[in-house]
Amino acid sequence: MMNTKALSWLFWMLLICGFTNQLSAQNIKVEEVAPGISKITFGGADPFNPKSFCDEKPDLKALAALPNANLPFQLNQIRVHQNARGLVIEIPLRAKEHLYGFGLQMNSFEQNGLKIRPVVNDNPLNNLGFTHAPLPYYVSTAGYGVLVNTSRYTTFYTGSVNKKAQTAVDSSIAKAAMLTTEELYKNRGSG
Higher per-residue pLDDT: 185 or 16: 185
pLDDT at 61 over 90: yes
Q: What tens digit of pLDDT does each residue of 139-151 get?
A: 999 989 988 888 8
Which residues, other chains included, contact 94 with Cβ-Cβ below 8 Å and sequence gap of 6+? Answer: 72, 142, 161
Among the CATH numbers 2.60.40, 2.40.128, 3.30.450, 3.30.70, which is that of 4-162?
2.60.40
Question: Per DSSP, which regions of the chain are E strands?
Answer: 14-17, 28-34, 37-42, 79-83, 86-90, 99-103, 115-116, 119-120, 130-131, 134-140, 145-148, 156-157
| DSSP 8-state code for residue 71 | -
Alpha carbons 151 and 46: distance in angstroms, whole number = 8
pLDDT at 32 over 90: no
**Domain edges within the chain:** 4-162
Strand, coil or helix: 88: strand
